[in-house]
Amino acid sequence: MKLRQAAAAAKTITAAEAAALVQSGMWLDYFGTINQPDAFDRALGERITQLSDLKVRSTLSMRPRAVIEKDPTGQHAHMISLHMSGYDRRLHEQGRCSYTPLNLGEISDYYRRFIPPVDMLILKARPLENGGFNIGPTNVWLRSIMERARLVIIETCNALPHALGEGTDIPISEVDYIIDGDDSPVPELPNAPVTDVDRAVARLIMAEIDDGACLQIGIGGMPNAVCAMLAEAGIKDLGVHTEMLTDGIAELYRAGLITGAAKALDPGKLVYCFAAGTKPLYDTIDRNPDLSCRPVEYTNSPHIVMQNPKATAINSTTQIDLSGQAASESDGNRHLTGTGGQAQFVRGAYASDGGKSFICLPSTYDKKGERRSRIVFNLTQGNIVTTTRADMMYVVTEYGIVNLKGKSVPERARALIGLAHPDFREGLERQAHEHRLIPRGFRF
């Protein structure tokens, strides 16, 4: 239900005047990624000690937030994240930020049904000649927030790329206040370096990707390596229906490898709900009719993902146990990120005609100078399961690839031990036998 009426006429005010509208106990929404406000945030930071019990909801903060930095003791404001960046993670470790567990594709419904009304929504947007605004390549759940916000404030930013799609324009009639922004450069997200392990994993995945596959690719070195190898493999008529648009996907598009010709939904269109990366990515998006920025309930819902044949989801995790559970969000009780769209794309890809889901990870990692296995008998205490063992399809490390669908627990354990680093296989085998995960006399 919409809580507020459209504004009679949007009023231009300063960032300080906008910040003066904030009262103690309010819920503010900074939206997310490259659309988070800067001028407003700095102005609010200057008066944060005058306020108390202020809650600021955000997603993937890409710059430090003054509302937090100007409140070092955390007595005045607290952040609530729907998906964490590195900055948000550091705040979480300091007790300054909390996470809301969710599937990313369900957030629009959360705003409409479960999340309390938002007192103020403040976001950056690009002014249009018709007096409205373009939000750039961050569609996600904007429409649902606007339906539930008591005040909508736009901070203008001409540096945002102009994204085409569904719901990427905001009529001025839906805006209450406008802040003239400073047009600071759009924040960039550097690409993780690609390692030899990443390339080894990518080579194994490559053998399973067919002409006409419709890709969802996550973020990180391994997905980047897959994109780089796809550019060399000559696979034809790739499509994209993804949550996050990354530099790797944009490079495939610029190379002419993404045509979308085999897609059942949005043929010829590269579909995504938000983008974060470097300037070449933003330049590729700007006014590009081949790219369609859509709401997250459209990009991530499994019943929509499955409608494209050969939906192919490629995502990373940090730990897998011998039954096939993937923990992608935490290191024990240390929170790392969020569920995001992983679980939904795993299910959507599996349900697609000819679809495949890949969860990839290096076999080991170093912690305090000690090499440890990412394939384990039991998940680390406190670890959060992101993809259940019932949902797991392909698992890939640098030592191999296995499809767990249809395999019993003993078969899974044997297969996953074979993907572990050789130094850990004997210990994993011993644990599996001691705890009867692999029964005595197991032969099939």
The catalytic site residues sit at: 243
- CA 387 from chain centre, in angstroms, equals 15
Alpha-carbon span 187 to 63, nearest angstrom: 7
| 211 Cβ neighbours under 8 A, 6+ residues apart | 235, 236, 237, 262
**What's the CA gap between 359 and 148, in Å, rounded?**
36
Q: Which residues contact 408 (CB under 8 A, 6 or more apart)?
A: none
Please give the structure tokens belonging to residue 338. Answer: 């969020």
CA dist., res. 135 & res. 121, Å (int)? 13
Cβ proximity of 229 and 201 under 8 Å: no
**What residues contact 151, with CB distance under 8 A and at least 6 apart?**
4, 21, 119, 120, 121, 176, 177
Distance CA 245, CA 217 (A): 8
420: left (phi over 0), alpha (psi -120 to 50) or beta: beta
134: helix, strand or coil:
strand
* CA–CA gap between residue 298 and residue 439 (Å, rounded): 44
How far apart are the C-alpha atoms of 33 and 83, rounded to whole Å?
Answer: 10
Tokens standing for residue 269: 């269109």
Per the document, the length of the chain is: 444
**Considering all CA atoms of the chain, what is the largest pairwise distance in Å, rounded to the nearest integer?**
77
Phi, psi (rounded to 5 degrees) for 340: 55, -140
* SS3 (DSSP) at 284: helix
CA quadruple 149, 78, 68, 113: dihedral sign: negative
Phi and psi torsions of 173, nearest 5°: -65, -15
